[in-house]
Amino acid sequence: MVSTRPRVGVLAVQGDVREHAQVLAGLGADVELVRRPIELAAIDGLVLPGGESSVIDKLSRAFGLQQPVRDAIAAGMPVYGTCAGLILLADRLIDGIAGQETFGGLDVTVRRNAFGSQVDSFEADLRIPVLGDPPVHAAFIRAPVVEAVGPEVEVLARVGDGRIVAVEQGRLLATSFHPEVTGETRFHERFLEKVRVHA
């Protein structure tokens, strides 16, 4: 009999890996910490955590994960990226460091550190219609913003000044903010639904 527990991974080379793993396990998923291609091959969905996007990029290449992750995205694996994970999913990056690369797959242009440095971190309540009520309490920590979206991308949320902070494109989901640190689980639930459908 096939297990109904989704098998999901968290890219575990740097960033807030533990927080995502705890949320996903709490929602009934079997969680794998992904540091090698063989671990990536054993899962049905992947979370790209917040952290330092340029470091995650360099380490994913060093661990031989960059191309396997790109291939998994191209093959339709559901992926959820938060903060740095949004940057890593973007097809186009503004204000990256020299030589910085992304996995791509999400037809968006993202600006790194768009809200400023660590001291400019803030929290806000966002109304996100696809998630219903109550509003999402979002934590922005050196967060990126989506500057432009392609025709297949759905904008899920904006901050008060209109800048885009959550998007979805097919099996890809991404937020500028960190639901995993504020007790918000609805984005992870939405991601797991994609995994169940895909698996």
Active centre residues (catalytic):
83, 178, 180
* 82 contact partners, CB below 8 Å, separation of at least 6: 20, 47, 48, 49, 50, 174, 175, 177, 178, 179, 180, 187
Q: Which residue, among 77, 110, 83, 78, has the nearest Cα to 14 in the 3D structure?
A: 83
Strands (E), the chain: 7-11, 30-34, 45-48, 79-82, 90-94, 106-111, 122-126, 136-140, 145-149, 154-158, 164-169, 172-175
125-155 burial, b if ≥16 CB within 10 A, otherwise e?
Answer: ebebeebeeeebebbbbbbbbbeebeeebee
Beta bridge partners of 31: 8
| Whether 138 contacts 177, CB under 8 Å | yes
